[in-house]
Amino acid sequence: MAGRSKTGIFSWMESSADSAVRQYGAFIQRLTEKFDLDEPQVIAEYSLGDAVWPLVSVTVKSAHIILRYEPGRWPASFLVTVESSAPVPSLFGLFDPTLDLSGESLPDMKPEWLHGPYRSNQSQFSCELEDEWDLAMLVRILRSVGLLDWAAIPGRKSDESQ
């Protein structure tokens, strides 16, 4: 996920005069604090209207995500690329698992930053999320990748009552 020289998002946000961009930065800061993440890095910038927005790279445990906020769409959305060291388990319907963004051309977003659908590769995929709640849920799921799967405990019968 190489890009231009990286800058921490919080110092990048200090230079933004646009209130919507600053609100987005505040959301990223809350997400970072809630999940105890390292500071996200700005790997590129893109323009929407009069505002310049950051393309953000975030490490979540053993996964890496690239995040592009799309406020100009209705509803606003997040385009997210996930590269995980292990398959990401069930996503509880957070997004369309068949959506293929790999052939899309987005301004200031390198083609290698967009992967195919989750259905094809659960370790490397791109998706579209509807809101910050969905993004927070995806981060929570990524934090749990590789943890003990209680349903896979040897000797446990699937029909046992709890």
Query: Which CA distances in Å does 92 have to 70, 82, 99, 121, 141?
Result: 23, 16, 16, 16, 10
Single-letter amino acid code for the residue at 80 = V
Is position 159 within any domain? Answer: no
Distance CA 39, CA 37 (A): 6
Is position 162 within any domain? Answer: no
Judged against a pLDDT cut of 80, whether residue 4 lies above it is answered with: no
Note the pLDDT of residue 146: 67
Question: How many domains does one find in the chain?
Answer: 1
155 pLDDT tier (thresholds 50, 70, 90): low
Note the pLDDT of residue 93: 92
Is position 124 within any domain? Answer: yes
Judged against a pLDDT cut of 80, whether residue 162 lies above it is answered with: no
Note the pLDDT of residue 55: 95
Q: Which of 58, 43, 73, 56 is nearest to 138 (CA)?
A: 58
Is position 88 within any domain? Answer: yes
Is position 14 within any domain? Answer: yes
Q: Rounded mean pLDDT of 45-68?
A: 93
Is position 153 within any domain? Answer: no
Segments forming the whole domain that contains residue 142 = 7-146
Is position 80 within any domain? Answer: yes
Is position 57 within any domain? Answer: yes
